[in-house]
Structure 1
Amino acid sequence: MYHYRLFSVLCFLLCLPIPLLAEATLLIQDGQPRAEIVISTSPSRTTSLAAQELQTYLEKISGAKLQVVDQPTSEYPVKIYVGGSAETQRLGISADGLKYGAYRIVSGKNWLTLIGDDTDFIPIEPWPRSNNDIASGKMQAAWDEITGEHWGYPHSQMRKHYMGPASLFGTPQEQKVDKNGNVNVWGFDERGSFNAVCGYLRSLGVRWYLPGESGEIVPELKTIPLPEIDQVVEPDFPLRTLNFRFGVYGRDAAMWGMRLGLRQPYGRQAAHGLDHM
């Protein structure tokens, strides 16, 4: 009799809707946001890019556009922390030890953190803002003064590795986003948190086989739960590169390369043999 009753109770429980068995914490529910994306008050370029990427693809997947904020609000119960911030410090989470584009995805009761090294590349002077700086001999003269010799100037392609107008970089008129609001980055920036975002999106089923929307696979998920996870992903190689320049081949190609996990950190160009031909 006891076993019959136990069996009956188990059958009853199994027939209940899942929400009655356990109330899952959700990032998105029925196409509506239940979370917000939180970044630092002073984010690096690629932290901002990573947050933008997460926002874009969660909307593509679910139809819900999560807001990006630099301070948590009371509007949404769940927080997605992208990159390091005061909030991740409070949680005791940092990018320490995450080298060469490695990343960590970790969650708690009502939060998810996607984090890695997001160090901004800083070009070393002198570098050409335009082709005229090369053609006029300005860069060669500056290089000769540094070396005391007359060696070939090695950084003639520098400006081509930046997505925005190189002539404005580092000035008050610097264009941190393009006309469509997309974040401008250097090909030499570290992108740990961006890699974390891409890793998380892949876990949802997103794939990037070719540059542009025609080369991507995006699933349709109207409800996305908060995962229970603590994962560190480390690359097999510190240098991962294709021979193209972000400012020349266009944003679609640059974004595709970044989604594949490329890393070219040395700030070297037109110096064949240092890392690639």
Structure 2
Amino acid sequence: MQPKPFARPCLVALPLLFPLLVQADVTLVRDGRPQAVVVVADKAGQVARYAAGELVRHVEKASGAKLEVISEGAAKADGRARIHVGTHVPVEKLAAEACVLRVTGEAMFIAGNDGGGDPLDADTRAGTLWGVYEWLDRALGARWLWPGELGTHVPKTTTIVAKDGDEIITPRFLQRRLRTGLGFTSEHPALGFTTDAFNQFSAEQAVFLRRHRMGRTYPVGYGHAFVDWWEKDGKAHPEWFQLRENGKRGPTKPAGRFSMCVSNPELQREIVARWAAKRPPDAQTPGVINACENDILGLCACENCRALDGPAPADHLKFYPATSKMAGSRFVSDRYAHFWLGVQQHAAKTHPDATVVGYAYFNYFQAPVSGIKLNPNILIGYCPSAGWFPRSEEEHAWMKQQWTGWRDTGARLFMRTNHLLDGYCMPFIFARQFADEFHHAMEHGMVATDYDSLTGHWATQGPNLYIATRLHVRPEASADEVLAEYYSAFGAASKAVKGYFDHWEDFTMRSREKINQTMEATQTSRWRNWAKAAHLLYPAECFAPADTLLAEAAKAVRDDAEAAARVKFLRLGLDHAKLCARVSAKLSLVDSTASKEDIKQALDELLTFRRANERSGISNFNHLAWLEDLSWKLSEETRQTPDLYP
């Protein structure tokens, strides 16, 4: 059964659950003074204790009143109203990650199906924590704009009341994931964070992601599945691997990438056999078989694979540049659909509930055309090799059509795009188009997400990132509704801040052709070395209107310290973007003629800014270091650790 979304919870009639109790609101804070205590079990787990702490922190931020946390044992002699966190609710029969929100009599109850691990670990079930966040969202209007205290917005109030009610709430998607973007490393680490600043950035981001309910109902393992198979099995079973045009099997060069001969039924059986051999006999979670092809086009040229291919649609290469890996490639979506179905059918003989995971990727990301029917035990990650934002209306419609085509096969789908890797640290805004794609996917069978990656450029791309996180919690909300939440946290500057980001969204959308042409002309990747072209796409003169709009925003909140600090956060992001574009103009590998002195001067200016602001949370500087390493002519000095240079 499809889990119910947060926005459409299951309502349970209170009289049926508590026939002898009178429904009543519970007052937590009155006139800035605490009126209730938070109660946890005497031996409460980590999740429940952390959830109680989050409740206390946000209530205090809203009202100034700090609620006391006590154990059940101590609560017996305490006459104050109670907020039971993780207790007094039978959760054994709740679905994984589900929670109960209940207010009745003199108490509020928040409890859910929890695991025993770290509350900030995405693999830890955290139903009780989800319940606390849901209540904070609804009752206090808590909004988490970006990681850290400044990005935590809770409207001020002197009185807090929990309204009576009784609901069971389950996350909409079985997995909600934005990859953290914390693994980027560079051979020029001085461009990135110092150790302590990175630890702070990482910790604050982990909290932020959990506040947006990032996690999963059960672990789903997948990824490029066959990367080491040739080394291990190539000699004994060359028939499992791609047949090249020259009649030989395997990679075209030693240690090169390769695809599989996916029509081979022996390969399909072997995938299942290896999975079954590793699966514990007492496993409680659903079985997941990884059948995701390697990070390469589907290239097998054997007759059996080609016989499964449907006729290529006339537009299957329409939105790819001539320099793309896809140029001239064969359309092979149908062979991969048959492959996943074959693996699933083999597995079903002994494990009828097993799910096979595959990627719709490269020259098989577009929807199949043969009419093949799959089933819900096949889970497909939609990972297009096209469709970077901003898109034309035609391309945007075409991208959504591919999703719908896969949905029509009967498989389940999850969003596994790379599009959030785009844009460097520039004010590159595509929030509304992203939201439209999310809504289309949600309305057409999306059961999970796995976005690669959260690059963390919060001060310049905040609307993109807030949309991407918030829609996981409120998937039915419109883009304008979500963005209105974001802008409202800027107080009297909300109108000016909206105008500021609307300006950049308009700039981004109007730049589509220029972006595509520049990237192709400079041989720049949308995700790997964007800083090569930053100065061409964001020349100095483009920043002037944005400067004016932010100045208006700052003027509007001169008497509001918190809102003023948030506007300053955006200003730091813009100043940093301008500086990065200037450095790009000097050091870009496209046309750099910089001398050693020029390089040192440019980098010293940039790194001085980063060291001064690395604890502000404006950007993931480690991601930038990785990207700039591949984009710029750099100094040997930046190979030192950031703690030493400059």
SS at match of 1:214: coil
Q: Which amino acid aligns with 1:116?
A: G
Residue 126 of structure 1 is matched in structure 2 by none
Residue 230 of structure 1 is matched in structure 2 by 166
Deviation at 1:97, TM superposition (A): 3.5
Counterpart of 1:94 (choices 82, 90, 93) is 90
- TM-score, with length taken from structure 1: 0.60
CA displacement, residues 39-97 of structure 1 (integer Å, 9 cap, x when unaligned): 1111111111100100110111111111111121544520000013xxx0xxxx22233
Residue 517 of structure 2 is matched in structure 1 by none
SS at match of 1:232: strand
Residue 140 of structure 1 is matched in structure 2 by none
Deviation at 1:206, TM superposition (A): 0.7
Counterpart of 2:129 (choices 194, 197, 206) is 194
SS at match of 1:213: coil
Residue 630 of structure 2 is matched in structure 1 by none
SS at match of 1:255: helix
1:1-277 alignment runs, 5 A limit? 25-71=26-72, 72-84=75-87, 88=88, 93-121=89-117, 185-203=120-138, 204-244=140-180, 250-264=202-216, 266=218, 271-272=223-224, 276=450
* More displaced 10-residue stretch of structure 1: 239-248 or 102-111: 239-248
1:270–1:244: structure 2 CA closer, same or farther, 3 Å change rule? farther
Deviation at 1:219, TM superposition (A): 0.9
SS at match of 2:213: coil
* More displaced 10-residue stretch of structure 1: 243-252 or 36-45: 243-252
Distance 2:81 2:175 in 1: 35
SS at match of 2:150: helix
| Preserved contact between residue 50 and residue 193 of structure 1 (Cα < 8 Å) | yes
SS at match of 1:64: coil
Q: Which amino acid aligns with 2:55?
A: L
| Preserved contact between residue 28 and residue 64 of structure 1 (Cα < 8 Å) | yes
Distance 1:105 1:199 in 2: 9
- TM-score, with length taken from structure 2: 0.27
| Preserved contact between residue 25 and residue 161 of structure 2 (Cα < 8 Å) | yes
Deviation at 1:243, TM superposition (A): 1.2
Distance 1:44 1:185 in 2: 13
| Preserved contact between residue 120 and residue 210 of structure 2 (Cα < 8 Å) | no
| Preserved contact between residue 98 and residue 234 of structure 1 (Cα < 8 Å) | no
Query: Which structure: greater helix fraction?
Result: 2
1:108–1:28: structure 2 CA closer, same or farther, 3 Å change rule? same
Q: Which amino acid aligns with 2:162?
A: L
SS at match of 1:222: coil
1:69–1:245: structure 2 CA closer, same or farther, 3 Å change rule? farther
Deviation at 1:270, TM superposition (A): 8.8
| Preserved contact between residue 25 and residue 104 of structure 2 (Cα < 8 Å) | no
How many residues of Structure 1 are paired with residues of Structure 2 in the alignment? 187
Distance 2:135 2:210 in 1: 14
Q: Which amino acid aligns with 2:168?
A: V
Distance 1:260 1:215 in 2: 13
| Preserved contact between residue 100 and residue 235 of structure 1 (Cα < 8 Å) | no
| Preserved contact between residue 240 and residue 263 of structure 1 (Cα < 8 Å) | yes
| Preserved contact between residue 34 and residue 77 of structure 1 (Cα < 8 Å) | yes
CA displacement, residues 163-211 of structure 1 (integer Å, 9 cap, x when unaligned): xxxxxxxxxxxxxxxxxxxxx7433211101110001001121111211
Deviation at 1:214, TM superposition (A): 2.3
| Preserved contact between residue 45 and residue 185 of structure 1 (Cα < 8 Å) | no
| Preserved contact between residue 39 and residue 85 of structure 2 (Cα < 8 Å) | yes
SS at match of 2:133: helix
CA displacement, residues 203-242 of structure 1 (integer Å, 9 cap, x when unaligned): 1211112111222221111111231111222222111112
| Preserved contact between residue 100 and residue 263 of structure 1 (Cα < 8 Å) | no
Residue 465 of structure 2 is matched in structure 1 by none
Alpha-carbon RMSD:
2.8
* More displaced 10-residue stretch of structure 1: 49-58 or 112-121: 112-121
Distance 1:230 1:192 in 2: 15
Deviation at 1:99, TM superposition (A): 2.1
Q: Which amino acid aligns with 1:34?
A: Q
CA displacement, residues 135-165 of structure 1 (integer Å, 9 cap, x when unaligned): xxxxxxxxxxxxxxxxxxxxxxxxxxx6xxx
Unaligned runs of 5+ in 2: 1-23, 183-197, 225-291, 293-356, 358-380, 382-449, 453-646
